[in-house]
Amino acid sequence: MSEHEPFPFMHEWLSDMDVSLAGNLKRWADNEVMAKRLEHKEDYSQLLEPAMKKLFLDIGLQRLLWPEKYGGDGHNSPGAALTMAAALEQIARGDTGIALLLSGVWALQSCIAMEDNLNEEVCESLSSIFVDKDLPAVVSLVLPLYRGTPQATAKLQKGSWTVEAKGARPIASGADASVFGVVCSLDGAGEGVGLIVVPVHAKGVKCGKPFLKTGLAANRNADVDFAKVKVPESHCVAQGEEACRGMLGWLYLGISASTVGALFASYEILKEWGDNRVIKGKGQVFKSNPLTAAVMAEVAKEVSLSRMLTFDLARVLAEPSIYGSPGEERNFITASMVAHQVAQSAEKAINNAMEMMASAGYATEWNLERYWRDTKTMQLCLGPYELAKMDFARYFYGSQAR
């Protein structure tokens, strides 16, 4: 992990494979994305789609957590949480939107493919998607809006779920999904909420046209209709609040690690600026002015602490025998707090960097404004922070506030 040696973390938790993979992904980011960014900017067909295919198919990250029995690489123990954090921070350094895509893949797979909770029937059903050699596996998650009622309902009858939703808004990639992970209100089951896997080719699934977004160009999102979509009973891969929170814990880890990657890139942009700009009239290198140095220090602080928090969360998810399941309330609350804190740190750090660089901070050729747009757009996946704070207050203080 020498490429970001200034920002220490508990690297002894990583395996040799994790370190090697992170190095390969840094090279992917440098060669497949960053070297071509000035020419292609945010062009989907010329830049983002080829880079995503290289990552998902050639490097094989869509198969990483998938069981060997079903054609995957078999890295499907809870320890994969650390692999996920190390990988995503390098991927997001190149493109935050692609990192969010992979976060969704791994979050869904955490409910299906983990060795201690393997869903054999669903693994067999979805293997053609996740081990495909030609098409990236794109997972689109349909979560409750504003932590309220799920956007979809599902009724269990005669061994099948019937999923219904009109104009559901996924967090990403509704236009390009291979498979949806839909949090539903359940009718005909003991517990009231569940995560149901719906392949895009299922009868009754209709994806809308991509809509315009501020950031995350790799995620072409669209509203989706589920009109009496039938899937087998086994496709409810997480039933009950705790199980669904477990999936969200993995997703929040992915969002946090992806945000750290965006912070890495922002730090590199600001560092180059500080190394090479001279303050007019003073002949003083930008970084050596006490005022600018103090602000640059604040940026570095946010990057460093965000990385440490993210790997702390990864360690919690990687060791359920020590810390409990990812869906336990304390672990879910921790995941939510870390993701929100890292998102806020990124907003503060990138705002500072943009202000320091003046008009260059907002110029597309410097890319800093793109990381700002991407991290702010990705923050929406977490839901409103004010509502999250009510979750924190209920857990820590027994508050009844809503």
Amino acid in the structure at residue 245 = R
Q: CA 309 → CA 10, 114, 140, 306, distances in Å?
A: 10, 24, 26, 5
Average of per-residue pLDDT across 201-215: 95
Has residue 2 got a pLDDT over 70?
A: no
Q: CA 190 → CA 119, 163, 186, distances in Å?
A: 19, 17, 8
Query: Residue 148: what pLDDT?
Result: 74
**How high is the mean pLDDT of the chain?**
93
Query: Residue 281: what pLDDT?
Result: 65
Round to whole Å and give the CA distance between 377 and 373: 6
Query: Residue 301: what pLDDT?
Result: 97
Dig out the tokens for 156 from the structure: 């269990």
Higher model confidence: residue 401 or residue 114?
114
The band of 38, judged by pLDDT with boundaries at 50, 70 and 90, is confident
Q: Which of 52-66, 172-186, 321-335, 347-361 has the lowest mean pLDDT?
A: 347-361
Query: Residue 1: what pLDDT?
Result: 44
Q: Which of 88-92, 288-292, 319-323 has the lowest mean pLDDT?
A: 288-292
Higher model confidence: residue 364 or residue 227?
227
The band of 17, judged by pLDDT with boundaries at 50, 70 and 90, is very high
Query: Residue 296: what pLDDT?
Result: 93
Round to whole Å and give the CA distance between 358 and 361: 5
Round to whole Å and give the CA distance between 87 and 112: 20
pLDDT digits (tens, 9 = 90+) for 294-303: 999 999 999 9
The band of 241, judged by pLDDT with boundaries at 50, 70 and 90, is very high
Average of per-residue pLDDT across 200-211: 96
Helix axes 290-318, 241-276, angle to 10 degrees: 150
Average of per-residue pLDDT across 219-246: 96
pLDDT digits (tens, 9 = 90+) for 165-194: 999 999 999 999 999 999 999 986 566 899
Has residue 291 got a pLDDT over 90?
A: no
Q: What percent of the chain has pLDDT over 70?
A: 97
Average of per-residue pLDDT across 244-259: 97
Going 378 to 384 to 386 to 390, the CA torsion angle's sign is negative
The residue assigned the tokens 């103090």 is 294
Q: What percent of the chain has pLDDT over 90?
A: 85
Has residue 361 got a pLDDT over 90?
A: no
Average of per-residue pLDDT across 232-257: 96
Domains along the sequence of the chain with CATH? 2-136 (1.10.540.10), 140-239 (2.40.110.10), 241-397 (1.20.140.10)
Average of per-residue pLDDT across 310-339: 97
Q: What count of other Cβ atoms lies within 10 Å of the Cβ of residue 50?
A: 15
pLDDT digits (tens, 9 = 90+) for 51-73: 999 999 999 999 999 999 999 99
